Structure 1
């Protein structure tokens, strides 16, 4: 071989080895970087660690927990439909549709509520419409949660001498309730149900519904209101609901296939957000079951339905499956900004003058996480708009004040009275001080903390030093209500989200007979939008995917159960004729109503479904339904004789999506009172945006 060829081969080999070394180093670098970003760090006491200059106080919640010992070291789930079972002795107002569940010392109460339409509300409450399961002697004194998954919970019930009566597994969407007795005899009290025997089976009948007791145990019917189930083997008792002979055959066919867990896994495509439900059975992974879907599940999907049952959330339709079922929702478009390239010179001049005025007048006086958070996001939105119109220098003062305010919130000094966060070592969550609306008990965390994420996203996008110092701490705020990893040791998995109904719940401890509740869907959607904004700054794809799924699915449920953007709601079993309003503003586990917690004024009832109006609010534009809403509320919106102008700015912005600049005169827009989280700059920019698109 010639020397030149040898040199050539040596050079090629050297280059190959060098490339291999570089590739290995890059692989190590990116692996370490990703593990640093995606693995949640804790100290030896399981307290989350945040790098940088941020700090928080430590705190242990005083509430008692009714969970089994093996669950105590895990993040405690709040904001569930069954959270009352964790934070009180009994489960109260648990709406595992089609069932409604309640319990007390008299026993476990199970019912299929009657749906009643009134002028301002539609109810399907458990009330006194139930049958009761209780021990043969004594009372039920307490209960505790011993297992749970995304859609199931197993609760253990005790007598007053701490003996186990039975374990009961409740499942969202299932026609079955599985009960494992720990005593030889149980009493069944019919209540409003009539007890009788059918096909050698104890059944409870009321109207068109039959609840069958499927078991190998013996039973004796003492009257149409009382029966005793007995078994020395303590056989499984499965309750199954059916409405006619055909549905009875289907329910009976799968009654022995005990479900022990259902987990939900979200995924994304270019046009849809998908949710895969994975079922696990007690006996065999290849078992089958029958399961019910709600209107928001099936309006965009096709399944082979076998029977249906009316519920407070519409007609629940049942299909059969083995260990998996996929639901798809339309994917809603997300925008970081509203690009307004058609602003006129006069509009830009007016916006600049507003920014200059609000640059000086902006303050952050509220010390609570809700009203204080709204002020943070208000300032951030002004900064965004100044950037959009090429006038960033006009918002310099706001930018500096907002940055200082965020740093104040993200750092704690001893004996500080407000504007800081504390980590709850017992329930594993972040509590902002000062608390508001029960946020110390995990109420409304997604409403409050979204405003912090939104503001932090705007500042961190243009300030790498701020991001480096406080990014980890802001992650903690996001993880409190929306932790996107199941193995997060410091926070529960997506705390506020219901994986069956596909929307959030606002009550942390949920102790109401009416069930859990959520009022402001727009603030819930803003939570997922703000999470998405923060994920872009953090370049965290896992967080981003979760945010996009939550944003789209919450919009789907909002359109269906709150805003009533349904072509034919009656056919879905929603918004019946006796209900006199076009939409709902407050949805509970067992009812929905046109109302708010704080006002009966129509502008407030409507407006709480719209604020805050940001680039994340584009989903609200739907000409058909916005026009319908305007026809209902126009007298109240444009009549100034009442002397009540609060909430008009939010409503004007909503209707500007169809009317644009015609919604109101500039003179009125410059004087209309503003919501404390809104600014004149944002009001004008929003209306100019939609007006210039017409």
Structure 2
């Protein structure tokens, strides 16, 4: 999420790891994945998910300057919970008024006296796929206020409170779940404008072209009134058009109370398992990116729902498991196949680009990109045996990263340093950029830092030790999973959607959003590379899971969407540049140009960006739409690199055009030397 943005530009195979998540609790200082559970782990070495435990993080946090750069508007959060920035449900917590959220298949929002839910109506125009908040079922609980009292990987618990602050009841929503559960803490009557009529042991009502079911335990229903005893429960759910109210209603009797997360890495596969903790069987919706790798035997006979991301299959069970291809993390190009002439050409260009390196910017986004550019030049120079430019580039990088990683740097200056924000629980760079003080885009920014530091430290392990007191905190800011209390677990990553969210406080009626799926992939690549130089196996496993998941979702929802799904009927473009919880746009925060739409989805074309290959026809179509055959424009360098992934002919053509591309169109996070080296070395077959 970048409002007002200007133009900007592995582990060894065969190792299995797992992360087990704790369930939500009311007073835990941080909620989410992190503590070992009772589920069996896959064969092979395992991880309990204790990535950056408190014992490791607390001394590092104490060592840096503490300062709140910008107070976050935390309005509806129980004490002692870590503020949930960058989450799909952040809009419930932050801001003067709560915003709707989208726990697919549902939309959900808080109201003045309770909450409302509904199944979104999906529609598409040439530049937009919409499915926003649809408050078909408005439930008056008599509440004067609502607060998030617990959250974990999938679930959010909301306390509905009276004027005195006493809890009337608790509402639980969960990603993937069609159910909204309410449990009364005292005898009470809930009211809705809808009239529910009996259907066997259930009740149904019609609203917005959808049939909604209602299951009640320890209570009665009279039209729009639900009378609950203390401890009584009411559960609302949309009935699939191709499903049965009875079949879904039987599962509605088992409220989801919390969730778990685990993953496994084995060979070329990465498997994610999300667990729905309930008193019995429940139901969950499978997203399009999960369908191809869905675990054998998953029972998806309950029907389907429309969504802005495509048709959701509704399945019965308590675990959603799917597998995606493993994306390796790498920080270097393979130059072994280059000719002597190509190496000589690259050596000359490296010398020129190192000499032309401008001063490093002071903010965390452009500063991070500049560090990444320098690291790629250093790596190229070292691989080519160009000792003088390699030494010069290393010296500049070492000095600049050394400034950034002085723990007390911000006690002496207002730039090139980081502070710890005790209020929001995170690391913020001075000077902020693109809302990073509001926790926007932290993974984009910090991924570049981690990538650059890892490339440099790979050849000089002493630098890993030198940079670690602050660089480990950057990694912890986006990669913690040990409930350390100093940072939220997996700050930006959504395990169900398999991708990140970029807005810190999500002050939008369409939920959270993410634009640059490729920079998110770069973030996890940088995290994995840093884990390797730090010899942190738990972090390396987690980063590989994050990288592989984000890459797979990036293809499914940004660059290679399944245009045959009914959700895309009427949509007029090859890609989706900006994804939200409640809509999807052919748009960016910073430019209306077609080249920007695709460019922001491929930047920075790192050595790990070959995940974008695999569908030559789609790549050709994307490039044609973005460029109109003209690469002499902003992002033209990255689009040439992306075009080469379509095949050998396209690679050769791109290389020739890159040699003649005007310097104006080589991005500030790129260099001509790296551009040429990437095009000389990349192979797709």
How far apart are the structure 1 equivalents of 2:208 and 2:370? 53
Tell me the secondary structure at the aligned position of residue 665 of structure 1. helix
Larger radius of gyration: 1
Q: Which residue of 1 aligns with 2:109?
A: 102
Gaps of 5+ in 2: 1-46
367 and 628 in structure 1: CA distance in 2 versus 1, 3 angstrom threshold: same
Q: Which residue of 1 aligns with 2:25?
A: none
689 and 669 in structure 1: CA distance in 2 versus 1, 3 angstrom threshold: farther
| Residues 151, 157 of structure 2: 8 Å contact kept | yes
Q: Which residue of 2 aligns with 1:220?
A: 222
Q: Which residue of 2 aligns with 1:9?
A: none
Worse-matched range after superposition: 581-590 or 236-245? 236-245
297 and 666 in structure 1: CA distance in 2 versus 1, 3 angstrom threshold: closer
418 and 132 in structure 1: CA distance in 2 versus 1, 3 angstrom threshold: same
Residues 1:540 and 2:536 are matched in the alignment: yes
Residues 1:235 and 2:232 are matched in the alignment: yes
Q: Note the aligned Cα RMSD (angstroms).
A: 2.6
426 and 207 in structure 1: CA distance in 2 versus 1, 3 angstrom threshold: closer
Tell me the secondary structure at the aligned position of residue 421 of structure 1. strand
Deviations 1:239-266 (CA, angstroms, capped at 9, x unpaired): 1221358521221212221111111111
Q: Which residue of 2 aligns with 1:597?
A: 589
Q: Which residue of 2 aligns with 1:49?
A: 60
Residues 1:385 and 2:394 are matched in the alignment: no
| Residues 66, 145 of structure 1: 8 Å contact kept | no
| Residues 92, 101 of structure 1: 8 Å contact kept | no
Q: Which residue of 2 aligns with 1:15?
A: none
Tell me the secondary structure at the aligned position of residue 603 of structure 1. helix
Residues 1:304 and 2:306 are matched in the alignment: no
* The structure with more helix, counted as a fraction of residues: 1
Tell me the secondary structure at the aligned position of residue 146 of structure 1. strand
How far apart are the structure 2 equivalents of 1:405 and 1:349? 29
552 and 253 in structure 1: CA distance in 2 versus 1, 3 angstrom threshold: same
466 and 299 in structure 1: CA distance in 2 versus 1, 3 angstrom threshold: same
Deviations 1:412-464 (CA, angstroms, capped at 9, x unpaired): 14251111100112222111111111111111100000010011112212223
Q: Which residue of 1 aligns with 2:342?
A: 347
| Residues 291, 321 of structure 1: 8 Å contact kept | yes
How far apart are the structure 1 equivalents of 2:54 and 2:317? 39
Tell me the secondary structure at the aligned position of residue 432 of structure 1. strand
| Residues 513, 578 of structure 2: 8 Å contact kept | yes
Aligned length: 626
How far apart are the structure 1 equivalents of 2:450 and 2:575? 29
How far apart are the structure 2 equivalents of 1:467 and 1:91? 43
Q: Which residue of 2 aligns with 1:613?
A: 605
Tell me the secondary structure at the aligned position of residue 570 of structure 1. coil
Q: Which residue of 2 aligns with 1:130?
A: 136
How far apart are the structure 1 equivalents of 2:163 and 2:522? 46
TM-score, with structure 1 as normaliser: 0.85
Residues 1:466 and 2:463 are matched in the alignment: yes
Q: Which residue of 1 aligns with 2:5?
A: none
How far apart are the structure 1 equivalents of 2:243 and 2:254? 19
State the 1:350 CA deviation: 2.3
Q: Which residue of 2 aligns with 1:117?
A: 124
Q: Which residue of 2 aligns with 1:559?
A: 555
Q: Which residue of 1 aligns with 2:176?
A: 173
168 and 88 in structure 1: CA distance in 2 versus 1, 3 angstrom threshold: farther
How far apart are the structure 2 equivalents of 1:577 and 1:608? 24
Q: Which residue of 1 aligns with 2:27?
A: none
Deviations 1:210-243 (CA, angstroms, capped at 9, x unpaired): 211211423333xxxxx22223546211112213
Deviations 1:599-657 (CA, angstroms, capped at 9, x unpaired): 1100011100000111111111232321222333342525x6xxxx2121111111122
State the 1:178 CA deviation: 0.5
Residues 1:293 and 2:286 are matched in the alignment: yes
TM-score, with structure 2 as normaliser: 0.86
State the 1:316 CA deviation: 1.2
How far apart are the structure 2 equivalents of 1:234 and 1:418? 54
| Residues 282, 316 of structure 2: 8 Å contact kept | yes
Q: Which residue of 2 aligns with 1:371?
A: 366
68 and 129 in structure 1: CA distance in 2 versus 1, 3 angstrom threshold: closer
Structure 2 residue corresponding to 1:409, chosen from 392, 404, 407? 404
Deviations 1:307-347 (CA, angstroms, capped at 9, x unpaired): 1111122111122214x342211222333322122323332
129 and 578 in structure 1: CA distance in 2 versus 1, 3 angstrom threshold: farther
413 and 208 in structure 1: CA distance in 2 versus 1, 3 angstrom threshold: closer
| Residues 219, 232 of structure 2: 8 Å contact kept | yes
Tell me the secondary structure at the aligned position of residue 362 of structure 1. coil
| Residues 90, 143 of structure 1: 8 Å contact kept | no
Residues 1:441 and 2:447 are matched in the alignment: no
| Residues 330, 525 of structure 2: 8 Å contact kept | no
111 and 352 in structure 1: CA distance in 2 versus 1, 3 angstrom threshold: same
| Residues 201, 212 of structure 1: 8 Å contact kept | yes
Structure 2 residue corresponding to 1:492, chosen from 488, 508, 512? 488
Worse-matched range after superposition: 172-181 or 412-421? 412-421
64 and 605 in structure 1: CA distance in 2 versus 1, 3 angstrom threshold: closer
Deviations 1:501-554 (CA, angstroms, capped at 9, x unpaired): 111000111121101000000000001111111111111111111111111111
Gaps of 5+ in 1: 1-33, 222-226
313 and 398 in structure 1: CA distance in 2 versus 1, 3 angstrom threshold: same
| Residues 261, 275 of structure 2: 8 Å contact kept | yes
